[in-house]
Amino acid sequence: EEIKLFCPATIANVSCGFDVLGLCLEQPGDEMIIRKSKTPGIQITKIVGQDLPLETEKNVAGVAGLALLNDLKELKAGFEIEIYKKIKPGSGIGSSAASAAGAVFGINQLLDEPFSAKELIPFAMQGELLASGALHADNVAPALLGGFTLVRSYDPLDVIKLPVPEQLIGTVIHPQLEVKTADARSVLKHSVSLKNAITQWGNLAGLISALYTSDYELLARCLHDEIVEPLRSVLIPGFNEVKATALKNGALGSGISGSGPSIFALSKDEATANQIAAAMAEVYRKFEVAYDIHVSKI
Ligand code: HSE
């Protein structure tokens, strides 16, 4: 008995929602095959496309899957996982989350769904903890639930699925360098000014309202981040120019995707999203930086 999965890329933070907001892209994504096995536990039998550890305890899919099995006390259950990695680790579009979410989703299916999609989030977060040293859910939640998600609270975990305005489309450019989430978190400050906090929660609340009302102009006014982006953008070559180019070409907003180095833009139609993609790519061609680019519905 086996299951074949598509494990989508995700954009965490979405400017004003550091560690709480995330969205799921329709592409790119990994593929994963999970099959029941007679050997108890989890075996990662194959990883194609990236050089990642096969050892269960060192692999985000393995760790997330084990967290699920331990909770169920299904000590005899066993699974083999094959991962066909298309999302590059360290790209900022939820590579580890795709693997962690895929593993728990697939295993849950093969066990006839003892858990709801929301209940799978804490298991997938164990994979994120291994990958980045932080128990953040803003990639695994949208990967498991689809669309936009909000982590209203981490303790207790309270995740809310949000509506997606119909025309919204994302553009993501990945300059070919790797920024580890742990490194991108170590540059952050641990306190914020009241002034910046007011701006940020105003924008986050406005963005949530914009999603419910499909108010694209409000959405555009809210896509700002004065707390994390200024500290992290220095790690990304050409960030300011790529962002300015996206805005000049009609983006509703643009910012760092997750912990970077990918840069995302949101727009209202496919033609604009493609135009933004071409303009962003032109910036990196000028700087002679290699890149991957994706245009995707949310
Ligand atoms: N919220 C996390 C961070 C996402 O920005 O560090 C990492 O993908």
- Residues 25-34 pLDDT 10s: 999 999 999 9
Residue 178 has a pLDDT of: 87
Distance 137 CA to ligand 1 centre (A): 9
Residue 192 has a pLDDT of: 97
Per-residue pLDDT, averaged over 248-276, amounts to 97
Query: Range with the lowest mean pLDDT among 97-101, 142-146, 178-182, 233-237?
Result: 178-182
Report DSSP state, residue 288.
Answer: T
Rounded-to-integer distance, Cα 30 and Cα 51, Å? 14
Average pLDDT of the chain, as a whole number: 97
- Global pTM reads 0.97
Rounded-to-integer distance, Cα 5 and Cα 186, Å? 33
Question: What contacts 101, CB < 8 A, 6 or more positions away?
Answer: 7, 64, 120, 124, 127, 139, 140, 143, 144
Mutation to probe ligand 1, out of 135, 259, 262, 264 (largest number of atoms < 8 A from CB): 259
Distance 132 CA to ligand 1 centre (A): 9
- For residue 138, the ligand 1 atom closest to its alpha carbon is 1
Does the ipTM exceed 0.85? yes
Nearest protein Cα to ligand 1, atom 3? 259
Per-residue pLDDT, averaged over 205-230, amounts to 98
Q: How confident is the model at residue 126 (pLDDT cuts 50, 70, 90)?
A: very high
Rg of the Cα trace of the chain?
19
Q: Which of 181, 229, 245, 272 is catalytic?
A: 181
In the chain, what percentage of residues exceed pLDDT 90?
Answer: 98
Residue 26: active-site member: no
> Does residue 75 carry a pLDDT above 80?
no
Distance 110 CA to ligand 1 centre (A): 30
Per-residue pLDDT, averaged over 227-245, amounts to 97
For 140-185, write each residue's pLDDT tens digit.
999 999 999 999 999 999 999 999 999 999 999 999 988 999 999 9
3-state secondary structure of 14: coil
Rounded-to-integer distance, Cα 268 and Cα 255, Å? 16
> Does residue 74 carry a pLDDT above 80?
no
Can you state the angle between helices 60-72 and 117-132, rounded to 10 degrees? 130
Distance 13 CA to ligand 1 centre (A): 7
> Does residue 82 carry a pLDDT above 90?
yes
Residue 128: active-site member: yes
Rounded-to-integer distance, Cα 258 and Cα 249, Å? 22
Nearest to 23 by CA among 230, 165, 216, 153: 165
Q: How far is CA 117 from CA 1, 21, 135, in A?
A: 21, 17, 18
Question: How many helical (H) and strand (E) elements, i.e. helices and strands, does the chain have?
Answer: 10, 10
Q: Which of 10, 82, 128, 171 is catalytic?
A: 128
Q: DSSP string spanning 222-265?
A: H---SSSHHHHGGGSTTHHHHHHHHHHTT-SEEEE-TTSS-EEE
Nearest protein Cα to ligand 1, atom 6? 259
Per-residue pLDDT, averaged over 253-282, amounts to 97
Nearest to 260 by CA among 243, 285, 283: 243
> Does residue 73 carry a pLDDT above 90?
no
Query: Ligand 1: residues whose CB is within 6 Å?
Result: 12-13, 18-19, 136, 138-139, 181, 184-185, 258-259
Instruction: Give the pair of three-digit tokens for residue 87.
Output: 């999302």
Q: How confident is the model at residue 76 (pLDDT cuts 50, 70, 90)?
A: confident
